[in-house]
Amino acid sequence: MTATWTDETTAAPGAAPLATLDARAISAWFGTRKVLDRVSLTMRAGRVTALIGPSGCGKSTFLRILNRMHELVPSAQLAGEVLLDGVDIYDTGRRLTDARRQIGMVFQKPNPFPTMSIYDNVVAGLRLTGVKIRRADKDALVEECLIKGGLWREVKDRLRSPGGALSGGQQQRLCIARSLAIRPRVLLMDEPCSALDPTSTRVIEETIAELAAEVTIVIVTHNMQQAHRVSQQCAFFLAENGAPGAIVESGDTGQMFGAPVDQRTADYVNGRF
Q: Which residues bind ligand ADP (CB under 6 A)?
A: 30, 35, 55-61, 73
The binding site for Mg ion (CB under 5 A) comprises: 60
User: CB under 5 to 8 A by kind: which of ligand ADP, Mg ion, none does 57 bind?
Assistant: ligand ADP
Min separation Cβ 245 and ligand ADP, Å: 6
Min separation Cβ 265 and ligand ADP, Å: 16
SS3 229: helix
Q: Which is nearer to ligand ADP, 138 or 222 (CB)?
A: 222
Q: Write the CB contacts of 76 (distance below 8 Å, at least 6 apart in sequence).
A: 28, 29, 30, 70
User: CB under 5 to 8 A by kind: which of Mg ion, ligand ADP, none does 67 bind?
Assistant: none
Min separation Cβ 35 and Mg ion, Å: 11
Q: Are 171 and 119 in contact (CB under 8 A)?
A: no
Q: Are 123 and 138 in contact (CB under 8 A)?
A: yes
Q: Are 48 and 231 in contact (CB under 8 A)?
A: yes
Q: Which is nearer to ligand ADP, 54 or 162 (CB)?
A: 54
Q: Which is nearer to ligand ADP, 11 or 76 (CB)?
A: 76
Nearest to 218 by CA among 253, 196, 189: 189
Min separation Cβ 53 and Mg ion, Å: 9
Distance between CA atoms of residues 185 and 180, nearest Å: 9
Largest CA distance in the chain: 57
User: CB under 5 to 8 A by kind: which of Mg ion, ligand ADP, none does 73 bind?
Assistant: ligand ADP
